[in-house]
């Protein structure tokens, strides 16, 4: 490798590090005071850079928010796949529910930031609302896809409206997370097991296809896309 190639690689690595730190700073600030109160200058300073670097790297506040939302997907996929990448169909549905509840305590700041972004997106029409709709759609489409696969593979015995069930599952998950951010006495493990029982019953899942695991999922970063097919 030539010195020029090493220099280019070093520059690329520095750029990637800067963007990751800016996204992390944005997540932290949003969890502290919301999306509307956070400025690009705040983000740059919190990340340890100039006030203008966030503009240089992401172009706009909406660009950073889009990167923040994608970072939630990336982190979720990495946590979900850490133990074992789930099989298509019912296993993927079960794994999504388990991963939502099995969080490292340090990850709750990210959960709070996501809830705030979703709540504030509902206040005004605009780019933020569009980004949240796209984010939600990825989760709903993922569940719909694997519900259809589970039906095709006879893992479930009830033919149910996948769109509606996907919306209900995601709404329930986020509602429980929202409550637990304020009430730390909520037993998330009991809530997880009960929700899985409800979903299995609604789908008519035979006992031999039911799976629950007790696992601690670490918080690490990687790339991924919840809506990707396997």
pLDDT tens-digit readout, 34-79: 999 999 999 999 999 999 999 999 999 999 999 999 999 888 888 7
72 shares a domain with 48 = no
For 192, phi then psi, to 5°, come to -60, -50
Q: Give the CATH number, domain containing residue 2.
A: 1.10.10.60
10/117 same-domain check? no
Residues 114 and 5 in one domain: no
Total domains, the chain: 2
| Predicted pLDDT at 211 | 66
SS3 content of the chain, % helix, strand, coil (to 5): 70, 0, 30
pLDDT at 207: 82
Q: Are residues 105 and 126 in the same domain?
A: yes
Same domain, 113 and 198: yes
**Same structural domain for residues 182 and 225?**
yes
Task: Return the CATH number at 228.
Answer: 1.10.357.10
Q: Are residues 28 and 93 in the same domain?
A: no
Residue range 1-8: mean pLDDT, rounded: 54
Amino acid 220: pLDDT: 33
- What does the pLDDT read at residue 83? 61
User: What values do phi and psi take at 26, rounded to 5?
Assistant: -65, -45
Question: pLDDT tens across 84-120, in order?
Answer: 678 999 999 999 999 889 877 777 888 899 999 999 9
pLDDT in the model for residue 216: 40
Q: Are residues 148 and 37 in the same domain?
A: no
Res. 150 pLDDT band, cuts 50 70 90 = very high
Same-domain pairing of 41 and 85: no
pLDDT digits (tens, 9 = 90+) for 152-192: 999 999 988 999 999 999 999 999 989 998 898 999 999 99
Residues 18 and 76 occupy one common structural domain: no
Boundary of a domain, candidates 15, 41, 59: 59
Query: Among 59, 75, 105, where does a domain finish?
Result: 59
Domain that holds residue 212: 61-230
- Which of these three, 37, 59, 81, is where a domain ends? 59
Same domain as 81, residue 47: no
Model confidence at 195, pLDDT cuts 50, 70, 90, reads very high
Do 95 and 70 share a domain, yes or no?
A: yes
């Amino acid at each position: 490798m030539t010195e020029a190639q090493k220099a280019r690689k070093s520059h690329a690595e520095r750029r990637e590090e800067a963007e990751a730190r800016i996204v992390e700073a944005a997540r932290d600030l949003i969890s502290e005071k919301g999306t509307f109160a956070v400025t690009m200058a705040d983000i740059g300073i919190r990340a340890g850079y100039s006030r203008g670097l966030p503009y240089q790297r992401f172009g706009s506040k909406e660009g950073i928010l889009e990167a923040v939302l994608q970072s939630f997907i990336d982190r979720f996929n990495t946590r979900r796949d850490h133990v074992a990448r789930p099989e298509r169909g019912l296993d993927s549905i079960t794994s999504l529910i388990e991963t939502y509840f099995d969080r490292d305590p340090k990850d709750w700041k990210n959960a709070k930031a996501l809830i705030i972004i979703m709540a504030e997106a509902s206040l005004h029409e605009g780019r933020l609302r569009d980004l949240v709709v796209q984010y939600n759609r990825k989760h709903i489409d993922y569940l719909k896809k694997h519900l259809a696969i589970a039906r095709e593979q006879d893992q479930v015995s009830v033919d149910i409206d996948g769109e509606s069930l996907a919306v209900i599952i995601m709404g329930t998950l986020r509602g429980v997370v929202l409550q637990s951010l304020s009430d730390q006495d909520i037993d998330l493990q009991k809530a997880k097991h009960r929700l899985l029982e409800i979903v299995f019953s609604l789908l008519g899942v035979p006992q031999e296809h039911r799976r629950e695991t007790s696992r601690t999922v670490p918080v690490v970063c990687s790339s991924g896309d919840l809506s990707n097919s396997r």
